[in-house]
Structure 1
Amino acid sequence: MSPWRFLTQLSRLKQRGGALSRIGRAFRVFGPMCMDVFRGRYRPIPWAAFGWMALALVYLVSPLDLIPDFLMIIGLVDDVFIVGWLLTRVDRAMGDYRRWKGIDDEKVVVD
């Protein structure tokens, strides 16, 4: 394997790791954010985060997919990628909330 190709592969792995970190953080932060919003502790309401999360949930349970789920593995893979992409958008939409809450953003790669 050439050094250039190795560096390209390493770069792709780091990007995916950053996306996985954002997805995990979206799951960890969304619940507490909802509680702070509903209890009136945090304003303005991050409507974009709620919208992206709703879209991810609707896509996940909807029978309409880009690739039908009856194609077993491939059908589930498109759900994972699309819902994962939507969850990275949820994480981005919660940036102001994370700063307000003091949650560390250093570990996540920013696009």
Structure 2
Amino acid sequence: MAKAARAAQAWRTYRDVTKPGSPGLGARLRALPRMIGAVMNGQYPGMGKGKLAMMGLGVLYIISPIDIVPEFMVLIGVADDFGVFLWLMGSLLGEGGRYVDWERERVRSVRP
């Protein structure tokens, strides 16, 4: 993903998190373990296991000492990790917000 696209995704995520009525950052972060469990159990239709696996690979890439572009190539080596980090945070926060909205809708539909 190009730098401009990653920056645009980060900006969209920031706008979504700060939009009035939208789930806040804390709610989104707290929802992540529930969301992961719901995806794994097939209860949450908003996200597939493939996307969850891609996010897991993103986490592994960031923490792994083995990189496609090594860190000794200072600017480029750090930039690829940062790009993956931006994508991962944007994806997690975006999906977390959608999951919180989905949970709220389920609760509303169950209540009489």
- Normalising by structure 1, we get a TM-score of 0.49
- Normalising by structure 2, we get a TM-score of 0.48
